[in-house]
Structure 1
Amino acid sequence: MKKVNLILGAAAIALAFTSCKNENEERAEKTVDTYVVYVDSIGNIAAADAKANWAEIEASYQQRTMEAEAALADMKDKEAAQKKLDESKAKYEELKAKVQAEAAAATPDRKTEIRNALFGEGVVGEDMSFAWVNKDNILKVYNDFYNEFDKNQNSYSREDLDEIKLLYEALDARKNTVEKEGLDAKDNRKIAELKIKFAPKFKWERITSKGEENAQAKDKAE
């Protein structure tokens, strides 16, 4: 009788272990399947909503990825489960790259922002060509440039001022050509007045921005 009880006890333990193992496998399968569905659902989110909430999506994705990867230990067919995970990861990275590309396209870099503000939307490209400036519009170009700088001079960083300097020099180089093409003397005098007003303001901003830069570096060192 004692031997029978031992056998029955062993069988009960084995059954309980099998049942536990099956529950773990089912739970693991559900975790992996939920992960796959979650990644698929991201692709159905409207582009604008995805961009606006990407930080939250990324955090949730990382958490679910960790849970799915941990669940692999309890999977019977680990190879098939791993394949599911890898396919979903690849799909997510593709979605992420798309959202990041759209966000980058919608947000111009700082140099582009400065060029658009000083000269107009999209008129100054990477080659910094000012071929579009001629004797008829050059005074307006200088005037708009000066007014924009004057309005925002206190907000420019050291890097911004470096970019403005390059743009100003390129505009001046174009002016030399325009003068030979028949620039009106009256317009030329007005441009000279704007240049005289601009020079000390720009110099002052360069000096103060350098001072602020040094002060910040000192604070960090301390």
Structure 2
Amino acid sequence: MDEPLIERTPLPDALPSRLASQLAFLAEADKLKTVLRQSPLAAAGRRENDAEHSWHLALMVAVLAEYADEPIDLGRTIQLVTVHDLVEIYAGDTPLYDDHGRESQQEREEAAAEKLFGLLPGDQKAHFRALWDEFEARETPEARFAKAMDRMQPLLLNWLAKGGTWQTPGVTAATVRERKAVIGDASAELWAAARTIIGEGERRGWVAPST
């Protein structure tokens, strides 16, 4: 999987080099469709993949932007959620409740970002790497809201699955609240809704009770 896809069927030599680099990057991004997440799909008996997750986040940004505590640039926020998981093409998905995997997550993803965005022309490499860094740092209103959507989307899927990854061994309602708390950095209203959903899931026995 580390071999760039474009090397299997090289593009015609006559293409302009900038366009060829861009198409090579876009071809490589197709690998995102093969990276499985832990979250169950609501409409099918399988897990979602990273590309489906990213699309859903972009739609959530467009639908839920009115709940942002601070004004956000909608287009930039959609760019952030579209780009943020591309590094998992090489780094793999790190589940939210996988404490062991989270120890090496930053190192793996930093290396993946350098490799993947390096396929682009220099100016675009810098632009997309800056978007990825912005999402990770959560220092802008757009990044905070993008991260909130990244936490809200699997919350909705787990509710629809009557537990889903909430039933990971060792996870309690308190664990879920702690891992989802970043929603509150972007939207008090959505965080209140998330806490209501988690609380009702706990009441129904879909997540282990807090101790």
Asked if Structure 1 and Structure 2 have the same fold, meaning a TM-score greater than 0.5 normalized by the shorter chain, the answer is no
Give the TM-score, by structure 2 length: 0.29
